[in-house]
Structure 1
Amino acid sequence: MAKPKNIKAEDVLARLDEGATLQIIDVREDTEVSRGMIPGAIHIRLSDVESRYTELDPELETVVVCRSGRRSRSACNFLIQQGFTKLLNMEDGMLAWKGELEEFYP
């Protein structure tokens, strides 16, 4: 099985600032995302990824995000099994995010 590539939060921010089109999936729990999400991110809790992954576009470069990088790696591993090939795991998670946040109300 292929492994997802890692990307640092600062590199995600730089890519967004450059105008890159990234599909960002936030797999944190509702209470965590209520503190703010990366603007434009899609919230799908890790426990829901298996039932909701068909909402995602496998052709887009996809960054998966959680608090510290562990849950996002699990989500990436599942998505690889579903045929996603353009996956990036934000290895340092939202703990390292220095960009803007948008409010989210689950």
Structure 2
Amino acid sequence: MIPKWTTEELQRKLEQGEKINLIDVREQEEWEEGHIAEARHIPLSQLAERYEECKSGEEPIVLICRSGNRSGKACDFLHELGYPVVNVEGGMLAWQGPVTRGAN
């Protein structure tokens, strides 16, 4: 079973300075509308070609999308490849923390 975090758990961990390997799998337009500053952007549509970019140290790969559906699919894909993953329940719809707008 793939572990899940709430957006509150994710926000608390980020605020406490924990090193989180956070990847946003939404498409470019969604990313630009608002994303978590600590996240890296690898759209689900590109994940099969770019999955090796996901690994960063020993931390699990924490995946977020709009609602938790696409990040769940990304978790399934990466889990099958042997990567440790965590899905963020509720995604950006549930995120109450600060967001960064634009392409960066």
Kindly indicate whether the alpha-carbon contact (under 8 Å) linking 1:26 and 1:44 is maintained by their aligned counterparts in 2.
yes
Deviation at 1:105, TM superposition (A): 1.4
Structure 1 portions without partners, runs of 5+: none
**Mapping of residues 1-106 of structure 1, within 5 Å:** 3-57=1-55, 59-85=58-84, 87-105=85-103
Question: In structure 1, the residue corresponding to 2:33 is in which secondary structure?
Answer: coil
Structure 2 portions without partners, runs of 5+: none
Deviation at 1:18, TM superposition (A): 1.0
Kindly indicate whether the alpha-carbon contact (under 8 Å) linking 2:60 and 2:83 is maintained by their aligned counterparts in 1.
no
Alignment partners' CA distance in 1, 2:102 and 2:60: 23
- Tell me whether 4-13 or 57-66 shows the greater mean CA deviation: 57-66
Alignment-mate amino acid for residue 34 of structure 1:
E
What is the TM-score when the length of structure 1 is the normalising length?
0.90
Kindly indicate whether the alpha-carbon contact (under 8 Å) linking 2:62 and 2:87 is maintained by their aligned counterparts in 1.
yes
Alignment-mate amino acid for residue 26 of structure 1:
D
Structure 1: 4+ residue segments shifted above 2 A: none
Kindly indicate whether the alpha-carbon contact (under 8 Å) linking 1:21 and 1:61 is maintained by their aligned counterparts in 2.
no
Superposed CA RMSD in Å reads: 1.3
| Number of equivalences | 103
The percent identity for this pair of structures is: 39
